[in-house]
Amino acid sequence: MVGHDINYLSFAGVLGLTGKPEGPPVIPATQIADVAAGGMNAAIGILLADIMRERTGEGQYIDVSMMDGSVAMLPFMATLLWEGGVVPGRGNTMLTGRYPCYSVYETKDGQYISLGALERRFWVALCKKLNREDFIPHQFDEGEKKEEIFSFFRKAFSQKTRQEWMEELKQIDICFGKMLDLPEVFQDPQVRHRKLIAEYIHPKKGRMNFLAPPLKMSDVSWEIRVPPASFGEHTEEILQKLGYEKGEIEGLKKEGVI
């Protein structure tokens, strides 16, 4: 069967666990199976095999599956099932919005903040900040108390703008963040400071932006040496390097192979 990221995530159970409890599965905005489960595991495998080759002089075959990698990214969910005997439901676990301490809330200006007050010290600091110390013993309560806290938080966070909450929450020790749209991400001071955007002058398209490698290493640098290839741009060059004669390449073209 052919497949794309969405299909591998659905087979792996990741898609079925993403979204709100009462709603349909939500497709992630980034390609988890392609990039993380497939691409990154392939890179790790290649690096490991390279180290082994240096030690033993032998190479090896690397078997990487995008579904395998997606399943391997479910340690928390698997623990709930195998150790807790609980079948995780969509949007209904500790890390997917079941509790008020780990969720997202809309602010006065229609924006959102993310809250990750999971550890007790963060939860205590948040409850004190909101003048609701009576909530402290009920962080993981179920039923009416949980809904009471959710309701209070939603109302409280809707009273101020996202930026106002950012300024206030910076003053206490909790895990929180502002939810940015993509233009905001690429203008964010931290993204700029970490040099995550690379500029390149394309010979035909002019100035272009690219995502820079996220790894920062003391003795390794990188650069963009050539622009992204257009479709089929290097086909003939590669075939010639593989030993194909010009006539053979023309034959492949006529047959529709390339």
What DSSP state is assigned to residue 255?
Answer: T
- What one-letter code names the amino acid at 4? H
226 pLDDT exceeds 90? no
**155 part of a folded domain:** yes
**207 part of a folded domain:** no
227 pLDDT tier (thresholds 50, 70, 90) = confident
Of 179, 210, 241, the residue that ends a domain is 179
Mean pLDDT of 86-107: 96
- The pLDDT assigned to 234 comes to 92
**214 part of a folded domain:** no
Q: Please state whether 19 falls in left (phi above 0), alpha (psi between -120 and 50) or beta.
A: left
- The pLDDT assigned to 81 comes to 96
64/66 Cα distance (integer angstroms): 7
**149 part of a folded domain:** yes
- The pLDDT assigned to 137 comes to 97
Count of domains for the chain? 3
* Percent of residues in the chain assigned helix, strand, coil, to nearest 5: 45, 10, 45
204 pLDDT exceeds 90? no
**18 part of a folded domain:** yes
Q: By residue range, what is the domain housing residue 171?
A: 102-179
Distances (CA, A) of 45 to 42, 59, 64, 69, 220: 5, 12, 8, 12, 20
Measured from the Cβ of residue 67, the count of other Cβ atoms closer than 10 Å reads: 19
Same domain assignment for residues 73 and 116:
no
159 pLDDT tier (thresholds 50, 70, 90) = very high
Same domain assignment for residues 56 and 106:
no
**206 part of a folded domain:** no
Of 82, 113, 130, the residue that ends a domain is 82
What DSSP state is assigned to residue 4?
Answer: -
Same domain assignment for residues 125 and 169:
yes
**93 part of a folded domain:** no
Distances (CA, A) of 29 to 15, 32, 58, 182, 210: 12, 9, 40, 11, 18
Same domain assignment for residues 160 and 120:
yes
Report residue 252 as tokens.
Answer: 């492949």
104 contacts 42 by C-beta, under 8 angstroms: no
Side-chain half-sphere exposure of 168, counting CA atoms within 13 A:
15
Measured from the Cβ of residue 101, the count of other Cβ atoms closer than 10 Å reads: 23
203 pLDDT exceeds 90? no
Of 149, 179, 209, the residue that ends a domain is 179
Per-residue pLDDT tens over the stretch 101-153: 999 999 999 999 999 999 999 999 999 999 999 999 999 999 999 999 999 99
Q: How many residues does the chain have?
A: 258
Same domain assignment for residues 111 and 172:
yes
Same domain assignment for residues 111 and 175:
yes
Q: Please state whether 110 falls in left (phi above 0), alpha (psi between -120 and 50) or beta.
A: left
**108 part of a folded domain:** yes
37 pLDDT exceeds 90? yes
